[in-house]
Structures are given as structure tokens and as C-alpha cells.
Amino acid sequence: MKTVTLSSLQAFKRAGEPFSCLTAYDASFARAAGDAGIEVLLVGDSLGMVLQGHSSTLPVTLEDIRYHTRCVARGKGASLLMVDLPFMGNSTTERLLENAGELMRAGAELIKVEGEAWMADGIRELTRRGVPVCAHLGLTPQSVYQLGGYKVQGREAEQASRILEDARTLVEAGASVILLECVPASLGRAVTEALDVPVIGIGAGPDTDGQILVMHDVLGVTHGRTPRFVKNFMAEADDIQGAFRRYHEDVKARRFPAPEHGF
């Protein structure tokens, strides 16, 4: 695979070619995912749940993310490395800039921030300083207590228009990528069509430019109730590399997500 950059993601969008994204937390799995063709790796704060055993992403610290970013950066090969800003990492603009700087120094190539239109100023400050940003909208797990649980967002017309407007505002502020989590497929399509920048979806239907899943879900090592948008690719593969390849190929061929994975 050729080195994946933001320009590659924009080219995928222009060509109507979907791209695959997967979380990764260490060098070995990052290498396996890159070898399978996965274009974007995310050091997600989901590590608080799948690695550390917490019930939310809130306990994850900058130091945790920085450590796993360094690990993934060593194994990532040609994939683009996106990294999550942890909970409260944006509590002030100074903190946001310093934290993003630390993560870029650790190997991040794209910083993902959760937040709505109010994040516009922070995104403007980051992009002014050369830090590319992915803005995460819809179900934002760092706000799980405010949202009252891990629920689909944007089901009502008013909330759906607000998510679309927030996405427009954040792109105007400089966001290079939008990530939409757990929204109706119709909203996933509307946001993707309305924006010039690539839109990555998880539980956002089949029409977003890219798809992302948590690695543990792809490998079927999720405990408890699995969300509807998840598929265990290990069930159809002989080994981990095969499961990653199957996920990548199914995204590229638009076989995943299927209608049953959407809202």
C-alpha cells in the first residue's frame, strides 16, 4: 500500500472509493492491520474499555494515549495514524494545543476531538498551527453521562439538522475529516453528501466515505452486549490477518456495513 495521507482520503472521496479504518493499540496489531490494507489506524480512547476494562472512555489519560500512540507509530507502516484527544484534553485552549502537540510528537498524523460546534475555536487554533483535525460528532462517548447512555443520535429531524450544521461549522473552522458515530443511515448519507471533506462512519450507514470499527469487535473478543453496527470478521477467517483482510475487502466492496448494521 502507498503511504496514506489526508490527500489520499480526499482522493478516495472524490473517486467514490470507500476506505477502511480500524482502532489499534500496539505495534504488532498495527502492522497486521496495515498489511491487510487498512488505510487509517486510530489510537482510540476506547482503549479504556477494551484494554483497561473500564465501563467508559473517561478514565483514559493523555499519558495512556501517548504510550499507545508511540507503540502503534512503530508498527503502522503506510496507514495514516489518527489519535484521540482524551476526555477533558480540551478543557482550555492552552491545554488543547499542548496535548495535541504531545500526541503529534508521539507520532499522530491526525488528531480526533469530540465536541459540537463549540469546538470550532479550538479546531481553528489547531489547524492554524499545522495540526490536522478529525471532528467526532453524533454519539460522542466522552459525553456518555450527559447523553444518558450509548444511544443513537439524530433520530429526530431537529437533532439531525443540528448535527449536520455542527459538521459544516467544524469543517469551516478547519476540520479535515468528520467522524460520525451511531446516527441513522439517512443522516450519514446527508452529512457525507453535504461536505467536501471525508466522512468516516461507525454505525452511520453504508454511505459514509470511510468505515471504522474497534479492533476487538472485528476479532469477536467483545464482552457483553455487542452494538448492532459491529461484525465479528473472525467468524469467517482462519486467522487475525484474514479477519482484518476480510473487513478491509468488505468495506472496499461496500459489503460492510450491511442494512442490518445500520439504524
CA–CA dist 158, 187 (Å, integer): 12
Which of 214, 219, 243, 251 contacts ligand KIV by CB under 6 A? 214
Minimum distance of ligand KIV from residue 262's CB (angstroms): 16
Is residue 254 within 8 Å of residue 206, measured between CB atoms? yes
Is residue 181 part of the annotated active site? The answer reads yes
238 is in an annotated binding site: no
Nearer to ligand KIV, 20 or 129 (CB): 20
Q: How far is the CB of 238 from ligand KIV (least distance, A)?
A: 26
- Evaluate whether 145 touches 115 at the Cβ level (below 8 Å): no
**Does 114 carry a binding-site annotation?**
yes
Residue nearest to ligand KIV (CB): 44
Q: For residues 37 and 44, which CB has a smaller minimum distance to ligand KIV in the complex?
A: 44
The CB-of-57 to ligand KIV minimum distance in angstroms stands at 6
Chain Cα centroid distance, residue 234: 21
Least separation in angstroms between residue 134's CB and ligand KIV is 9
Q: Decide if residue 23 touches ligand KIV (CB under 6 A).
A: yes
Bridge partner list, 114? 136
Residue 132 three-state SS: coil
Which residues within the stretch 36-95 sit at the binding site for ligand KIV (CB under 6 A)?
A: 42, 44-46, 84
Length of the chain: 263
Q: What angle do CA 102, 42, 149 make, to 5 degrees?
A: 100
Which C-beta is closer to ligand KIV: that of 13 or that of 112? 112
Q: Residue 157 or 207: which CB sits closer to ligand KIV?
A: 207
Half-sphere exposure of 128 (CA within 13 A, CB side): 9
Candidate list 9, 65, 202, 219; residue touching ligand KIV; CB under 6 A: 202
Given 98, 156, 165, 181, which residue is catalytic? 181
What is the H or E stretch that residue 40 is in? strand 40-43
Please report the DSSP string for 204-251 in residue order: S-TTSSEEEE-HHHHTT---SSPPTT---GGGG-SSHHHHHHHHHHHH
Residue 112 marked as a ligand binder? yes
- Could you list the residues known to form a binding site, using ranges: 45-46, 84, 112, 114
Where on the chain is the footprint of ligand KIV (CB under 6 A)? 23, 42, 44-46, 84, 179, 181, 202, 212, 214
* Residues forming the active site: 181
